[in-house]
Amino acid sequence: MDAFFVSVELLERPELRGRPVIVGGVGGRGVVSAASYEARRYGVHSAMPMTRARRLCPQAVVLPPRHEKYSRVSAAVFEIFRTVTPLVEPLSLDEAFLDVGGALRRLGRPAEIARQIRAQVRDQQGITCSVGVAANKFVAKLASTHCKPDGLLVVAADGVQDFLHPLPVAALWGVGERTEQALTRLGLRTVGQLAQVPLGTLQRELGNALGAHLHDLSWGRDPREVVPHTPDKSIGAEETFDHDIDDPETIRRELLRLAEKVGARLRASGNAGRTVSVKLRMADFKTITRSRTLREPTDLARVIYVTACELYEAAGLERVRLRLVGVRVENLGPADEAPASSPSTSRKAAGARPSVRWTRWRTGSAAAWSVPPRSSGGPTTVTGVTEGKRADETGG
């Protein structure tokens, strides 16, 4: 899709068409999630700090993101893709690879199939998409990027080198800032120049794996197939604060909110995980991570939360100013294959403190978690949202 988040917002705000529009966090430390092409002309791009984006384009209209809305539109677009072929590999909410080889007899040549997809997305969802057509994923991806916005580019098999070789080496997958600098020192600025370097030389300068990878890409070789479903390797969530936080109870409340979000995503995906990790970024941008592997998989927010709190406390940062915290669950597997366990067993597996009280109600009601603070005084109660049947548990 083209500037997907912005395009979805413009469906309800058509008066903003033609104006620079930015979707992203509106707080002091917000970042740009998406920018209209009008805003991009001023140098605004995704992942840029919002403060810098506002300086570059002070006349831009800034809208907060609405991820549920984007997910609904994305799901509808992917249904269009699946009417063409079952071989759809999602890359993100707004991007996918399609293998249309099995649809040629039914729908026509690849370029015609691409035109049909673009028309259906425009007519049914009111947004535009750009499509690259090529013999492999790497070239198709580059083609779609080069024909944005609202374009279609077909790179024929006998035209791959003519398309690739004038491009800068940074266009190749795997060329980051450091690799680009290394290639520049070798006098290699275009894909065509890199393609003329012997494989052995590239491997000697860049390492065996990267050298072989870039040599293949420079000649348009990419053997990867379209994989309809790639299992999640991990599921997580994080939050950047508007200002640095050094209050442990505020951090714990944020860990609770993130644990609820991660737990909900795990259940929605049908997964459970054994490793819980926390990410802690300090005011000076130094970042540390801590993790613990449980004795059995979990998708329960309370298990994730208690484990995350203990990892935070063990890090020794309870009075250190933090700008970001994150919670992630890894080592995922299907939840229905996880061993059944009682709530107390799950809590024990997480190493929970014995005096955590947990109460939850069905579908979107409030949950109160009473956690004894490390200092003297009564328990601190924080509130989240949970799902499932009511279950009361008091330890100790």
Catalytic residues: 95
Residues 259/309, Cβ–Cβ less than 8 Å = no
Is residue 292 a contact partner of residue 311, using CB atoms and an 8 Å limit? Answer: yes
Cα gap 22→45, rounded to integer Å: 9
d(CA 217, CA 203): 14
What are the counts of helices (DSSP H) followed by strands (DSSP E) for the chain?
A: 15, 15
Compute, in degrees rounded to 10, the torsion defined by CA atoms 281, 285, 290, 291.
80
- Residue in 370, 358, 362 with CA at minimum distance from that of residue 386: 362
* Bridge partners of residue 383, in order along the sequence: 368
DSSP helix/strand/coil, 214: helix
Compute CA distances 39 → 13, 58, 150, 175, 250, whole Å: 16, 10, 17, 26, 36
- CA distances in angstroms from 220 to 156, 176, 257, 339, 375, listed in the order given: 11, 19, 45, 46, 62
